[in-house]
Amino acid sequence: MSINRIGLKLGAAVIVLMIVILVSSGFAVNRLFTNFYDAQMRDNTQGIADHFTTMAESGDPSVQTMIRNFAEFSDVKVFWLNADGQILTLSGAKLTNPSFVRVRDTQRLLSGHPVEFMSSDASGNRFYVVGKPIKAGSSTRSALYIVSSMKKIDNSLLRLRNLLMLSGLGAFLLALGMILIMSKLLSRPLLQMQKMTEKMANGNWDARLRVGSRDEIGMLGHSINDLAASLQRYRDTRRAFFSNISHELRTPVTYLQGYAKVLADGLVESDKEEKQYISIIYQESVRLEHLINDLFDLSKMEEGQIKLTLEWLDLKEIIKTAVRKVKLKAEKKRLSLQMDLHDRVPDIRGDRRRMEQVLLNLLENAIRYTEKGSVLVRLVRHEEATVLSVSDTGIGISKEELPYIFERFYRVEKSRARKYGGTGLGLSIVKKYVEMQGGTVQVDSEPGTGTTFTLIFPQEKKLGKDRINP
C-alpha cells in the first residue's frame, strides 16, 4: 500500500487529534468514576462508623455482639482503641498494631477528634479507614476504627479502565480505517491532476481530466481542462499562423525570383513583355511590403505594445480622407463610391491614424471583392452609439465562413492564385483596432448580394458637454 504525502499528513493530523480527544476523555471518565466510588465509600463508612459510635456510647452490655454482627453484615472490620492507645479486637483480644494505625491519628482520636484516611497494605490492597472517639460525658475514654476494603471498587475501576482503553483502541482503529479511505479518495484526483499537468508539461495538450465532482477539486479539474484547451488552441493557431505566413511570404518571393531570373537571363522577347514583368515584380514587392507591415502591426497589437493616441475624432473628416485615398481604385473598377454621413453625429474618442487604417482596410476590401455596383460608407447616430458602416455589392460571404473572417490569414477566396490579392490580415487588424478603441465590429453578408461591416462605438461623455458636429 503506497502512502502518499497528503494521506500521511491528513492521517497524522486526525490521529493526533483522536489521541488527544481519547486520552483526555478517558482521563475525565476515569476521574469521574473514581471520585464517585470514593465518595460513595466515604459516605457508607462514615454512616456505619456513626452508628457504631452511637451504639458503643449507649453502654449496653450486648453492644459488642451487635457491632460484631453488624460489621460482618456490612463487610467492614472494626477495631477498638483503648485509653492506653492499644488496638483490640471487639472481643477484647490484643492485636499488634495494624499497618494503618499511626501515632498521630491515635493521639487525635484520644483527644476527642475523628479521623478518616485511605490506607493500603503491603499487597497494595486499599482500605478506607474512619476513626471515631467514644465519649463518656465530656471526656473520651476510647475510640473505634472502622476499616472498609476497597477491593471491589478497585476491581470495578480496573475493569472500567480496561474497557475505556478497549473503546479508545476501537475508535482509533475505526478512525485509521476511515482516514485511509478518505485520504485515498481525496488525493486520487489530485494525483490524476499532477499526472495530467506532467503530460501537459511534456507537450501532450490533447489529454483531458475526467471531472466528476462539483467541489473545489472539481473546479480545479475544470480549470486544468480549460488551460489544456487554451494551450491546444494556442498551439494550433500558432502552427496555422506559421504555415500561413510561410506560404504568404513564399508566394510573392517566388514571383520575384522567377520574373527577376527571366529578366536577368535575358529571356524576354519584347520591351512590352519586359515592362509587364517589371510591373509584376513591383506589385509583388508592394504586396510583400504590405504583408510585412500588417504582420508587424498585428504582432505589436498582440504583445500589447501599440499605444493609442486617444483624442476626440470627427469621423466625417476621417471618412472623407479615406474615401479620397481609395477613390482612384474604385474608379479603375468603375465602382460608385458613395457616402451617407448624417448630421449631428458626436465625436468619438479614438486614435486618428488607426481609425483611418481601419476605414482604409474596410474600403479596400469592399473594392477588392466588388466587380460591379457600389460601395457605400454610412455614418449615423443610433441611440447612445455612433454607427459607421461600409457596404458593398460584392461577392458576399457565406454564413458558414462569417465566424472565421476576422482570423488571421483566413480567406474567403480559397484559390491559391490570389485573384483578389490582399494579405489576409486586414480584417483581423480592423477588429483589433476597433476593440482597442472601445468599439465592436459586426458583419452581415449575403453571397452574391454584398457585405456590410458595421462598426459601433458607444458614446462617451466629454467633460462638461457632449460636443455635436453640425
Partner 1 sequence: MKKIDWVFSLILIIMGLTCLFFAANAFGHESFLSFGRIFFQVCMWVTCPVILLVILYLWFHYKNKNE
Summarize as ranges the residues that interact with partner 1 (CB under 8 A). Answer: 1, 159-160, 163-164, 166-167, 169-178, 180-181, 184-185, 188
Q: Min. distance of Cβ 168 from partner 1 in angstroms?
A: 9
Residue whose CB is less far from partner 1, 172 or 406: 172
Q: Min. distance of Cβ 181 from partner 1 in angstroms?
A: 5
Integer angstrom CA distances of residue 113 from 59, 83, 274: 20, 14, 142
What is the phi-psi region of residue 266: left when phi exceeds 0, alpha when psi lies from -120 to 50, beta otherwise?
A: left
Residue whose CB is less far from partner 1, 11 or 346: 11
Q: Min. distance of Cβ 311 from partner 1 in angstroms?
A: 50
Residue whose CB is less far from partner 1, 160 or 240: 160
Q: Min. distance of Cβ 19 from partner 1 in angstroms?
A: 14
Q: Min. distance of Cβ 172 from partner 1 in angstroms?
A: 7
Q: Min. distance of Cβ 169 from partner 1 in angstroms?
A: 5
Cell of 253: 518571393
Cell of 378: 454610412
Residue whose CB is less far from partner 1, 22 or 67: 22
Q: Which residue has the cell 460608385?
A: 336
Residue whose CB is less far from partner 1, 113 or 161: 161
Residue whose CB is less far from partner 1, 141 or 184: 184
CA distance 284 to 260: 12
Q: Min. distance of Cβ 144 from partner 1 in angstroms?
A: 35
CA distance 154 to 118: 13
Cell of 49: 462508623
Residue whose CB is less far from partner 1, 180 or 341: 180
Instruction: Give the DSSP H or E segment for 442.
Output: strand 440-446
Instruction: Give the DSSP H or E segment for 187.
Output: helix 151-201
Q: Min. distance of Cβ 156 from partner 1 in angstroms?
A: 9
Exposed, middle or buried: residue 197 (CB in 10 Å: 0-12, 13-18, 19+)? middle
Neighbouring residues of 352: CB distance < 8 A, sequence distance ≥ 6: 309, 311, 313, 318
Helix (H) and strand (E) counts for the chain? Answer: 9, 14
CA distance 207 to 223: 13
Residue whose CB is less far from partner 1, 189 or 350: 189
Exposed, middle or buried: residue 130 (CB in 10 Å: 0-12, 13-18, 19+)? buried
Residue whose CB is less far from partner 1, 171 or 341: 171
| Phi and psi at residue 76, to the nearest 5° | -130, 165
Question: CB of 391 within 8 A of CB of 450?
Answer: yes
Q: Min. distance of Cβ 4 from partner 1 in angstroms?
A: 11
Q: Which residue has the cell 472500567?
A: 160
Which DSSP symbol is given to 402?
A: G
**Short-list 410, 342, 406, CA closest to 377:** 342
